[in-house]
Amino acid sequence: MKPRTEAELAETVAGLQDPVRISGGGTRGIGGPEMTIETGGLSGITLYEPGALTIVAQAGTPVAEIEAALEAEGQQLAFEPMDHRGLLGTNGAPTIGGVVAANISGPRRIQAGACRDFLLGVRYVDGKGQVVKNGGRVMKNVTGYDLVKLMGGSWGTLGVLTEVSLKVLPKPQAVATLAVRVADGSRAVGALSAALKSPFEVSGAAFDPQDGHALLRIEGFADSVAYRVGQLKSVLAEYGDVAERDGSAEIWQAIRDVSVFHGHEGDVWRISVKPSDAPGIAARLGADQTLFDWGGGLIWALVRKGDDLRARLGAFDGHATLVRAAAETVEALGRFQPESAGIQALTQGIRQRFDPRGLFNPGLMG
Amino acid sequence: MEMPKPNPDILRRKDVVLRRLQQVLPEDAVIHDPAETRAYECDALTAYRCPPMLAVLPSTTSEVSDVLRICNEEGVPVVPRGSGTSLAGGALPTADSVILGIARMNDVLETDYDNRFIRVQTGRTNLSVTGAVEEDDFFYAPDPSSQLACAIAGNIGMNSGGAHCLKYGVTTNNLLGVTMVMMDGSVVEIGGAHLDAGGLDLLGVVCGSEGQLGVVTEATLRILRKPEGARPVLMGFDDNEVAGQCVSDIIKSGILPVAIEFMDTLCIKACENFAQAGYPDCHALLIVEVEGSEAEIDYQLSKIIEIAKRHNPVELRESQSAEESAKIWLGRKSAFGAMGQMNDYMCLDGTIPVSALPQVLRRIGELSEEYGLPVGNVFHAGDGNMHPLILFDANKPGDLEKCEAFGADILKLCVDVGGCLTGEHGVGIEKRDLMSHQYAPADLEAQMAVKDVFDPNWLLNPAKVFPLDVSQPRRDARIAAE
């Protein structure tokens, strides 16, 4: 089903008898029922005001279309959404609704914020087929409860997004990347942390153990970038040899999309932790390969197929999401970290009220 | 402002409730003498007052849990209170309620620079969070004007902003985790030192829920390294519209100032008289601040000044010293106090799309003439968050009502041009009945459904946020169940 208007979508949902999969471009590999509601029929930028740093688009609008429009005005989606196609081997065009529904953020998340931090407003159709709006298109809005955040990252389980408003930011004039040669993960996180707590504003902080270098991204006006690169070189000197690396755009896109895992067999996990815990946790994973982003706060792990990584981790501060695995593994282990009883009661209560018939992406979030 | 009638049954049982609370709290933590409960009769929206039945001042999460459990069992409404600085009546009691003041819980629990967070009890004031990390050159970014007094608990309740949120975001963008006590006394942990709490974004919903979903007793907050420096430039224009255009041009140029503040004639004069900030005599004043190294600041300010010059400013003054910067900001930060010297005032908080600025200012001017009440405008122009200050005389019969009607017209105007009723102060009781102007019944129903899940008996912070008639069936169901 591919409704072309919000009203048509609402009517479709109201008439549903069975659960459905909600799909934007179908690139995030969520699985689910065969019967699908595709949002691609709801497409197009509704409003773009560069002077107000805001863009409003229908949920099925391709991310590429939005990025092109922003590019023309020297602006960007600062949260740098990941493109999952390479990692998951999916096709199709990622949509802005999919990005929002999954709260997809890239390396700049540590400095600029996550997708949910840029989300200003949503319109969606709930499980009863009602159109609901929350938030709006202004940057500061505390009018009523913030269901905008709730819908961001709800993976379509609370409603089908029809329109989203986002804050955008100017694209930086210049970008540089520093690479620090480090012995291990703990030295790497030390270096990343030293840079992140300096006043020299870093917008990317990653570590690829295979490559053996902690990577830092510095963005802004050309002179400012040159100055901060110089300052950071001295801050980082104690952690290892520091050198500038060319090809910033490719380097950070590869980190964003976890390119080092592309084409490699195995299950992929995404683990959010306190950065200083990262080296210890990574050591316990028994992973074939890892990649650290967000200063260590995000660990990507490639593990043997079917491996129960959560069991191996035991209790830890953070959460582990199974991003890529066979359907049986996802079924057995669950995609998302199990929640405490108190939190589970709240999320189930919310789900029950937003989608009382359990229509949307059933089982995806538990 | 209408408030629900106190439940006589609860008032009758005051002694029972009091005794039960005294059993779980130290003697000095339960306030029941009417002479003392009066201290909690209002917040910073002083036009509305109502002493609570009781007030409690717990010192631990476990005491908060006991209080909520008992009140839940007794069916007694609870009004959580930070420092009582709400401008929207967010902490206004009802006569049958217990005020739960969090002020005694103000410890720093953990400071972690490597992971860039601080964990505090939420009774701690906003400014003293920065105070705890300042020596090490860190700060907590959200900076509401009341930051000297306001508590983190209230900041989380209202999702408070501040002058510098154009760059750093508001409370929700700087909140990593909370310990929250539910109305039934159970305690939940959401988020923590890691980013993006797993599962549904409950943290995002709790922040800005105006104390209606639970009582947050501890918070993990993101702290940032202080920039090397910051410097404002002050610019004056003869026309509001031109100033608005200048703001838009600065933003479009690719520079992201940390703050862009706007004041109109009435505010400029009031602030100048009050703080002698050296403000020029003009129609519209902008304070634009940028941060970074000296060279970065110079570069950004030179670009900003270049843009400003294209709009023929009557004054253009780059701060030359820390003293001068402080003076420029002192004027702006004392705006509310300065206006308060002129008369009683009501402060509004609507947000509009920046592009609608000239239109909205023009219409506010017309309304001011129609109502015969002067209005000064001071606001965060970068993000469209307006603060019209309507002057009135509280001692003059009918003036308050006239002022409220004027205020409601302005807020409706904000919604009609694509904005919202409140950008950072919250709905409270003040804007409660205007919610239906911004939200359709299904929109409000979805929000109330969330409240149903967190607080099924609708006991937390009653009669706020939702129009009374809209929330009535739910509140009635609670009373009928008792």
- Closest by Cβ to A272, choosing from B198, B256, B421: B198
Q: How far is B62 from chain A (nearest CA, A)?
A: 16
Q: How far is A31 from chain B (nearest CA, A)?
A: 17
Would you tell me which CATH number, out of the four given (3.30.70.2190, 3.40.50.300, 3.20.20.300, 3.40.50.720), belongs to the domain B229-335? 3.30.70.2190
Mean pLDDT rounded to a whole number for chain B: 94
User: What confidence tens digit (pLDDT) does each residue in B369-379 have?
Assistant: 999 999 999 88
Confidence tier at B342 by pLDDT (50, 70, 90):
confident
Q: How far is B171 from chain A (nearest CA, A)?
A: 11
Contacts of B469 by beta carbon, 8 Å cutoff, 6+ apart? none
| Chain B residues lying within 8 Å of A145, measured CB to CB | 205, 208-209, 447, 450-451, 465
Three-class SS state of B72: helix
H or E element, residue A278:
helix A278-284
Contacts of B320 by beta carbon, 8 Å cutoff, 6+ apart? none
Closest residue in chain A to residue B207, using alpha carbons only: A146
Q: Do A138 and B352 touch (CB under 8 A)?
A: yes
Q: How high is the pLDDT of residue A329?
A: 96
Q: How high is the pLDDT of residue A145?
A: 98
ipTM greater than 0.95:
yes
DSSP characters for A68-118? HHHHHTTEE-TT-----HHHHT--S--BHHHHHHTT---TTHHHH--HHHH
**In 10 A of CB B316, how many CB atoms?**
18
| Chain B residues lying within 8 Å of A274, measured CB to CB | 115, 192-194
Q: CB of B122 within 8 A of CB of B180?
A: no
- Under CATH, what is the fold of the domain B343-436? Alpha-Beta Plaits (3.30.70)
Top residue of A145, A154, A169 to mutate, by most chain B CBs within 10 Å, is: A145
pLDDT at B131 over 80: yes
What is the average per-residue pLDDT within B309-320?
A: 94
Q: How high is the pLDDT of residue B221?
A: 98
Confidence tier at B482 by pLDDT (50, 70, 90):
low
Q: Do B204 and A343 touch (CB under 8 A)?
A: no
User: What confidence tens digit (pLDDT) does each residue in B158-215 have?
Assistant: 999 988 888 899 999 999 999 999 999 999 999 999 998 779 999 999 999 999 999 9
Name the residue with higher pLDDT: A254 or B4: A254
Q: How high is the pLDDT of residue B338?
A: 87
What is the average per-residue pLDDT within B446-471?
A: 96
Q: How far is B300 from chain A (nearest CA, A)?
A: 9
Q: Do B295 and A224 touch (CB under 8 A)?
A: yes
Q: How high is the pLDDT of residue B274?
A: 87
What is the location of CATH 3.30.465.10 in chain A? 6-170
Model-level pTM? 0.96
**Nearest 10 degrees: CA dihedral of B464, B467, B469, B474?**
-50
Pairing state of beta strands A21-23 and A36-38?
Answer: parallel
What is the location of CATH 3.30.465.10 in chain B? 1-226+439-482
pLDDT at B240 over 90: no
Nearest-angstrom CA–CA distance, B96 and B9: 9
DSSP characters for B415-460? HHTT-BS-SSS--TTTTGGGHHHHS-HHHHHHHHHHHHHH-TT--B
Distance of CA A145 to CAs B91, B210, B414, B448, B450, Å? 17, 8, 19, 9, 9
Chain CA centroid to CA B101, Å: 17
Lowest-confidence range among A285-299, B64-78, B324-338?
B324-338
What is the average per-residue pLDDT within B137-165?
A: 93
Three-class SS state of B254: coil
Q: How high is the pLDDT of residue A123?
A: 98
Share of chain B above pLDDT 70, in %: 100
Nearest-angstrom CA–CA distance, B427 and B305: 37
3-state secondary structure A284-326: HCCCCEEEEEHHHCEEEEEECCCCCHHHHHCCCCEEEEEEECC
CATH class of this structure's domain B1-226+439-482: alpha beta
pLDDT at A313 over 70: yes
pLDDT at B248 over 90: no
Q: How high is the pLDDT of residue B3?
A: 87
Nearest one of B181, B165, B199 to B381, comparing CA atoms = B165
| Chain A residues lying within 8 Å of B444, measured CB to CB | 144
Q: How high is the pLDDT of residue A63?
A: 98
Share of chain A above pLDDT 90, in %: 96
- Copy the structure tokens of residue A354: 């937003």
Would you tell me which CATH number, out of the four given (1.20.272, 3.30.250, 3.30.70, 1.10.3470), belongs to the domain A259-333? 3.30.70
Q: What is the CATH number of domain A6-170?
A: 3.30.465.10
Burial class (CB within 10 angstroms; exposed 0-12, middle 13-18, buried 19+) of A336: middle
Lowest-confidence range among A25-34, A237-246, B10-19?
A25-34
**Residue A178 region by backbone torsions, left for phi larger than 0, else alpha for psi between -120 and 50, else beta:** beta
Q: CB of B92 within 8 A of CB of B45?
A: yes
What is the location of CATH 3.30.70.2190 in chain B? 229-335
Q: CB of B21 within 8 A of CB of B72?
A: no
Q: How high is the pLDDT of residue B382?
A: 86
Q: How high is the pLDDT of residue A209?
A: 96
Q: Do B159 and A130 touch (CB under 8 A)?
A: no
Paired residues of A216 in beta bridges: A178, A205
- Under CATH, what is the fold of the domain A174-256? Alpha-Beta Plaits (3.30.70)
What is the average per-residue pLDDT within B137-146?
A: 94
Top residue of B168, B200, B209 to mutate, by most chain A CBs within 10 Å, is: B200
Mean pLDDT rounded to a whole number for chain A: 96
pLDDT at B69 over 90: yes
